[in-house]
Amino acid sequence: MQQNSNNFDEMNVQYCVGDAVIMSQLVDAPSKIPFDESIINFLALVSKKLLSMNEAKEFPDVITLGFWMRKASIESLKRRFEVSDESAVKRGRGVVFHIAPSNVPVNYAYSLVTGLLCGNKNVIRIPSKDFNQVTIINRVINDALTEMPEIKPYICLIKYGHDAAVNDKLSEIADVRVIWGGDNTINEIRNSKMKPRATEITFADRYSLAVIDSNAYLKAENKDKIAQNFYNDTYLTDQNACTSPRAVVWTGDKITEAKEQFWDMLHKILIKKYSISGVQSVNKLTSGYILAAMKPGVKKITSGDNLIIRMQVPSLTSDLMEIKDNSGYFFEYDCKDIYEIREFCNDTRCQTLAYIGSKEQIKPLIMSDILGIDRVVPIGETMNFDFMWDGYNLFERMTRNIVIK
């Protein structure tokens, strides 16, 4: 079975990085140790090329990626994750088959870098849509690979449609399978069998929330920056990333005043930066009415236009996520006691809690034995990728531990 799978000529995919020959080499190539010097150098090269490329400057997500891959940034990751215990040695697990989400252009690159830094060989289904960001990143990777051809057998980036045969083939050779893109994709890919020792990392459908301490917000001097940060967390991805807050919870005793300023500052940014389509506007109107019909006591507040729709709910419960929407549609809740939102967070789908104020006020909630919340981060950092992601330690999940005693 292993022998057969090393021939990739018949596989119906489009190669963006690598080819069928590289695929065969990839299967046979040795795993590396985590933070292997050749990999760090390769990523530094890619980073340098990205950050100096004029076309890349238009895309803040590409620039952020470029910074994240800099040598200094990788070295700090290395310091955090490298083990010093001499009786344990780590290596990559082997072939990692990644299925990237179709609607977030740069996500596949983070998945790739994680796989590489952990010492693995990576084959990635990248978005089939022609995102400019993807074109730019792939061009830079190809360019860097001609300078460092020894890295070639560690990267294959491919595009293909819903093709079960390809899923089967790649799952068969994988030691780790990483599935982004939510519940539907996970269910589809799970039809393909993996080796008995292979493991899987799945990023299921999740939802997130923001908790704002009204007193802390009113005291903050950088309200422009806060608004921009919140914009980046939400509108930048049409509020459709799993990390984008769907609900905004207000605490403290100056809620009315804080709300007014917060939403007003955000609206000023939206007028300049965000355009909303008819379909998005109609959807938000529809979602608001469905909620109102289902839950008595709901009040809708708009920004006077369709850019911000806030649905004030009398209680914040996880069933609201069955009727959520995006593109600037928020459930808003005035909270006197942090335990009032416990039900909302006590759900395995609840992922990121973004906050303004002190994280200390959140801690009792986290410690109260809830099923959800894997990340508590300041507003503005919800999208910052890290090896600790979605409740997983990706570094642990993508490496093999060898004990030497």
Partner 1 sequence: MNYDEILSIAPYSLNKQEKTEMLTKRMKELTKRHIETCEPYNRMMNSIDFNLDQIKKYEDVPFLPVRLFKELDLKSVSDDEIFKTMTSSGTSGQAVSKIYLDKTTASNQQKTMVKIVSDFTGAGRMPMLIIDCPSVIKNRSMFSARGAGILGFSMFGADKTYALNDEMQLDVEGIQAFLKKHDGERIFLFGFTFMIWQHFYKELLRLKAEGISFDLSKGILIHGGGWKKLTSEAVSPEEFHKDLKDVCGLDSIHDYYGMVEQTGCIYMQCECGHLHASIFSDVIMRNPTDFSICKKGETGIIQVVSAIPESYPGHSLLTEDEGILLGEDDCPCGRKGKYFKVIGRLKNAEIRGCSDTYAAKFK
Query: Applying CB under 8 A, which residues contact partner 1?
Result: 101-104, 107, 180-182, 184-185, 203, 205, 236-242, 244, 275-283, 285-286, 288-293, 296, 298-300, 304-307, 311, 324, 326-327
Q: What is the number of other CB atoms lying within 10 angstroms of the CB of residue 80? A: 11
Q: How far is the CB of 208 from partner 1 (least distance, A)?
A: 11
For residue 203 the two structure tokens come to 């990023």
Q: How far is the CB of 352 from partner 1 (least distance, A)?
A: 13
Amino acid at residue number 91: R
In terms of CB distance, is 104 or 398 closer to partner 1?
104
In terms of CB distance, is 171 or 239 closer to partner 1?
239
Q: How far is the CB of 159 from partner 1 (least distance, A)?
A: 17
Helix intervals (H) in 148-277: 164-173, 183-189, 214-219, 223-233, 255-273
In terms of CB distance, is 78 or 324 closer to partner 1?
324
In terms of CB distance, is 31 or 351 closer to partner 1?
351
Q: How far is the CB of 111 from partner 1 (least distance, A)?
A: 12
Phi, psi of 303, deg, nearest 5: -85, 20
What is the Cα gyration radius of the chain?
23
In terms of CB distance, is 216 or 276 closer to partner 1?
276
**DSSP per-residue string spanning 58-122:** G-HHHHHHHHHTSHHHHHHHHHHH----TTEEEEE-SEEEEE--SS-TTHHHHHHHHHHHTT-EE
In terms of CB distance, is 229 or 399 closer to partner 1?
229
Q: Are 157 and 138 in contact (CB under 8 A)?
A: yes
Q: How far is the CB of 279 from partner 1 (least distance, A)?
A: 5
Nearest partner of 167 among 398, 394, 13, judged by Cα? 13
Nearest partner of 332 among 303, 362, 357, 361, judged by Cα? 303
Q: How far is the CB of 365 from partner 1 (least distance, A)?
A: 24
For residue 155 the two structure tokens come to 């990267």
8-30: burial string, b at 16+ Cβ within 10 Å, e else: beebebeebbbeeebbbbbbebe
In terms of CB distance, is 168 or 390 closer to partner 1?
390
Q: What is the number of other CB atoms lying within 10 angstroms of the CB of residue 62? A: 25
Q: How far is the CB of 348 from partner 1 (least distance, A)?
A: 16
In terms of CB distance, is 213 or 233 closer to partner 1?
233
Q: How far is the CB of 394 from partner 1 (least distance, A)?
A: 16
Alpha-carbon distance of 372 to 242, in angstroms, equals 13
Alpha-carbon distance of 153 to 123, in angstroms, equals 10
